Chain A
């Protein structure tokens, strides 16, 4: 299968069951809301090293936000609900509560509730106040610029992590351009995030390592400098740069849509192939076959 001059490899992305949560951060201005959002999504590229994966989903206009102030929605993913609850408490406590004028709300209507505000309230040292409105509990924690307002509970739901694309280009410039086009297109979607820097990862990994202490190591079959030095390089002659886009979403459908849009946007001159990373199919619960995604009747091919 080809899109323009780019070959779409007949392979699949191996994605995993994760647990995800949407949090809504509001503030007096969108700049302060974004400052908190950037802080909470920092050091959250991969569960391998960061315990969670997070990214900014979208901006929220004041008239659509819970407290009528500008906001940002953030998605955070971890491998299980308990771990995600801990990450939410740590990150909201350190990155949102600390940011001037912010408030933080649960952004999922359904899912399993985990207590976040109900834990962070202890920072109030006994001066915290709870308010219950329409069966929803909020905590008011006194802070130096007034009060930090946070929902007592945040919902977490089964989600999908590790949807991915590998963009194989003739050089770094063309591959970066294609990856940027793909991330720009995917960022227009809701329910998904791209957890890596600017949505792109260059240090794709494989499971395991020759060093016993490492659970993951460089994806050497896709490293262009190793072609010729290893037995099973996945790179043809003329492929000199590979970039990966990792996609986490609140549903399988949202990850599938993001992959379709990403593939279509990335198929640009200078991109020889678009492939996907998998581990032979034995690890991930979801196999997202590139050809099937693009052949789906739900997909018009337009972005």
Chain B
């Protein structure tokens, strides 16, 4: 039976709960899990002060409640699965290297920052800085997948180096800013200044977008590699229409203020 955590008391200030992670709960008894330390503001309190625990940890954790003030869930996670039945706060899956996190609701900013591997799926919307590097860091997400079915805000994939970010809805401004490599797919619309400062990597969008003047149009073509991505996205439940799979894309290369080896692929229609 999986471990179940239920938020029974809403915190007045954010909770830092990086102990809610399979790596930290592995081989602990229920009472030991209840006594794990979390931060309520700047005070250390046991997990049981805010969460009711039931079941036993078997690699999977279910969390119920409005967790929008709970931070760092699944941080540094390397295996197992966390399912969050609701919305959740910042820094979910920070630097995770394996395992899976599923968020049934919305998620706040800094989803999967500096992630190394594993998979995060958000059924709702996400905030700013999805799969990004922390401020001052030159390398962001280095592997794994982040799938957001809804919309995201600004700076998605900031300094991203590897991995895949998929946004089923729209992204805000600066999508893929300073991107080093990796793949970002946006099935809705993108804001302004997409790919600013990108060195390498691919940003793919289903709709046309105004790009920075430091990007140069290469050609219209059918990027075959996208068939593999779209086929995969269909298999995980994202709506990919046939015209997207069979259509042409405008290829823009940039950012010429950097290496000019990045690409933005914009769906050009049939």
Contact = CB atoms under 8 A, between A and B. Distances in A.
A66 B225 contact: no
A140 B229 CA distance: 14
Contact of B228 (A66, A129, A147): A66
B121 to A, nearest CB: 14
B227 A146 contact: no
Contact of A149 (B163, B225, B245, B263): B225
A129 B200 CA distance: 9
A147 B183 CA distance: 17
Given A68-B245, A146-B222, A147-B223, A132 B162 contact: yes
A131 B225 contact: yes
A132 B202 CA distance: 12
Given A133-B164, A133-B232, A67 B183 contact: no
A134 B245 CA distance: 19
B1 interface: no
Interface string B51-77: 000000000000000000000000000
Contacts of A131: 183, 202, 225, 228
B255 to A, nearest CB: 16
Nearest to B164: A133
A138 B225 contact: yes
B8 interface: no
Interface in A72-105: 103
A134 B163 CA distance: 10
A129 B203 CA distance: 13
Interface in A213-253: none
Contact of B232 (A103, A134, A149): A134
Nearest to A67: B227
A67 B224 contact: yes
Contacts of B164: 133
Contacts of B223: 140, 146-147
B228 A133 contact: yes
Nearest to A66: B228
Chain B contact residues, majority secondary structure:
mixed
Nearest to B246: A68
A248 B229 CA distance: 35
Interface in B220-257: 221-225, 227-229, 231-232, 245
A129 B225 CA distance: 11
Contact of A147 (B200, B224, B229, B231): B224
Contacts of A147: 221, 223-225
Nearest to B228: A133
B231 A68 contact: yes
Nearest to B229: A133
Interface string B190-209: 00000000001010000000
Contacts of A134: 232
B221 to A, nearest CB: 5
Contacts of B232: 133-134
Interface string A7-26: 00000000000000000000
Contacts of B163: 132
Contacts of B245: 68
A55 B223 CA distance: 29
B85 to A, nearest CB: 27
Given A69-B227, A132-B162, A146-B221, 10 more contacts: A67-B231, A68-B227, A68-B231, A127-B261, A129-B263, A131-B228, A140-B223, A140-B225, A146-B224, A147-B225
The 9 lowest CB-CB distance pairs between A and B, nearest first, are A67-B227, A149-B224, A146-B221, A131-B225, A68-B227, A140-B225, A149-B225, A103-B224, A133-B228
Interface of B: 162-164, 183, 200, 202, 221-225, 227-229, 231-232, 245, 261, 263
Interface of A: 66-69, 103, 127, 129, 131-134, 138, 140, 146-147, 149
19 contacts: A66-B228, A68-B227, A68-B231, A68-B245, A131-B183, A132-B162, A133-B164, A133-B228, A133-B229, A133-B232, A134-B232, A138-B225, A140-B225, A146-B223, A147-B221, A147-B223, A147-B225, A149-B224, A149-B225
